[in-house]
Amino acid sequence: MKLAYYIKKKDLKDDERVHQPLRVLREKGFDVYDVAASGGISDGTDVLLSFGGDGTFLTAAQLAAAAGIPIVGMNFGRLGFLSENRPEDVVNALVSGEYTIESREMLMVGMDCEKPQRWHPMALNEMTVHRIGAAMLGVDVTVNGTPLPAYWADGLLVSTSSGSTAYSLSVGGPICTPDTRVLIIAPIAPHNLNVRPLVVPEGTAISLVPHSREENVVLTLDNRNYVIPAGTKLDVCVAPLRLRRLRIGESSFIEALRTRLHWGEDLRNGI
């Protein structure tokens, strides 16, 4: 089996915790190479390994989705919702073949202006538009061609179910299990009290037009930022590509909520 690996943080490149699983995999007969050093994913690669946290996973996911190969995360970060596995568990699963492959929806964003540099139109967790200056944004939103009341806020996000435990959660969005086929539309720091996050089916076509007193606004796709002109129309939908992700063991989304986000911690629950 041919494996690529991706490391974003320079200090991890010399970390023995990284070198150890790589040595074991090579000793077991795996062809393992550094995707950054090689300049890209080479033909015949079976799996991409992501060493780091969820931010590293999101960057590596772009490479895996484009190459059409599965990705698995080894957690060296803080939270680890996407990059959830211990290195030794990944090694054991690859050697034994005891894993499954799940697929996750991704967002695709189109725009009616010139594309920014290093433009990549897909996101696993969410896309957002943000204000740049002090003035709030007015965001016109249509859902399958039907206009919603304008949002007045610091910004607006559209999230996948995978992203429901990321930025969407921090702005009051609902928690969705990863297999829920929905998108979440949620304002960021809204300036009116009668707006709430909206959940729509995954096949919904969403259009956003941010208006601002400033000349530009910020567009984000996962951990990537772009500056675009205010008034740009953004078309958001589920991407034709899905991210394939290795799932190891009987990992539980609910258990992850309890152990990583401390969901339900309350003295009355005996926790």
Residues assigned a catalytic role: 54
Beta-sheet pairing, 31-34 with 2-7:
parallel
Look at phi and psi of residue 249 and say left if phi exceeds 0, alpha if psi is from -120 to 50, else beta: left
Write out the DSSP string of 84-98: -B-HHHHHHHHHHT-
Distance CA 150, CA 156 (A): 11
What is the largest distance, in Å, between two alpha-carbon atoms of the chain?
Answer: 60
- Give residue 164's identity as a one-letter amino acid code: S
Contact assessment for residue 176 and residue 164, using Cβ atoms and an 8 Å cutoff: yes
Distances (CA, A) of 162 to 140, 144, 167, 176: 25, 22, 11, 8
Distance CA 140, CA 153 (A): 11
Distance CA 200, CA 158 (A): 10
